[in-house]
A = this chain, B = another copy of it.
Amino acid sequence: MRTRDEDKVSLVKKMAIKSIVKDGFEGFSMNKLAKACGISVATLYIYYKDKDDLIISIAKEEGDAMADSMIKNFDPTVSFEEGMRVQWENRYAYMLEHPFSIAFFEQLRNSTYQSRFLDNFMKKFKQIIGEFMNNVVKNGEINSMPLEVFWSIAYAPLYSLVRFDAEGQSVGGKPFKMTDEILWQTFDLVIKALKN
């Protein structure tokens, strides 16, 4: 029996993400994807049941990889500032290594696929981050607050920076490039906001 060409499979995955990032879901089609990969459309239907399955499958794979790398080296019993630093480091490193992934997730978050993708993704985090929050509140390192408030202060600024960087443009006119210095300058402000 003939064997599946795994290079072809991963090319499909790569091109799908690239295309969705570039043109959004509105500009994405199975025929165009096949053409971009230099294969027949019908082949896509060997790999995936249908278009939804293709998108959801790729989203899950990428989401799992991202979730894993985000909790790498993360010990929820460590101090607040140290724990936050590891998480910012992980997210920043992931973004540098997978420049398209972040933009791909932004597309997913604003699409009808959101719910089917986000549940799976959050499951990986929820427990470990919840444990971390409990600890630092109990230690008196930060005040108790709704999880959404914490998230909005602790991570939203990072994602905002990543986005400015990806767009290469700014609120003003000049192009913006993220640097280590800018990242940790922002981090310090976030710690100042949250730490007692």
| Interface pair A110/B110, CB less than 8 Å apart | yes
Collect the chain B residues with CB atoms within 8 Å of residue A194's CB: 189
Having A26-B26, A106-B110, A192-B192, one finds 6 other A-B pairs with CB under 8 Å, namely A27-B112, A149-B189, A152-B156, A152-B160, A152-B164, A190-B193
| Interface pair A159/B156, CB less than 8 Å apart | yes
**Docked pose: A145 CA to B186 CA in angstroms:** 9
**Docked pose: A149 CA to B25 CA in angstroms:** 30
**Docked pose: A106 CA to B112 CA in angstroms:** 13
The 7 listed contacts between A and B (C-beta, < 8 Å) are A24-B25, A25-B25, A26-B28, A147-B171, A148-B161, A152-B186, A153-B189
Q: Which residue from B23, B25, B153 sits with its C-beta under 8 Å from A186?
A: B153
Number of copies: 2
| Interface pair B148/A170, CB less than 8 Å apart | yes
Which residues A120-139 have CB closer than 8 A to chain B? 122, 125-126, 129-130
**Docked pose: A146 CA to B182 CA in angstroms:** 8
**Docked pose: A52 CA to B18 CA in angstroms:** 23
**Docked pose: A106 CA to B111 CA in angstroms:** 10
Which residues A142-167 have CB closer than 8 A to chain B? 145-149, 151-153, 156-161, 164
A185 close to chain B: CB less than 8 A: yes
| Interface pair B110/A185, CB less than 8 Å apart | no
Expressed in whole angstroms, the minimum distance between the Cβ of A173 and any Cβ of chain B is 8
Expressed in whole angstroms, the minimum distance between the Cβ of A122 and any Cβ of chain B is 7
Chain B residue with Cβ nearest A130? B172
Which of A23, A25, A164, A171: most chain B CB closer than 10 A? Answer: A171
Expressed in whole angstroms, the minimum distance between the Cβ of A124 and any Cβ of chain B is 12
| Interface pair A185/B145, CB less than 8 Å apart | yes
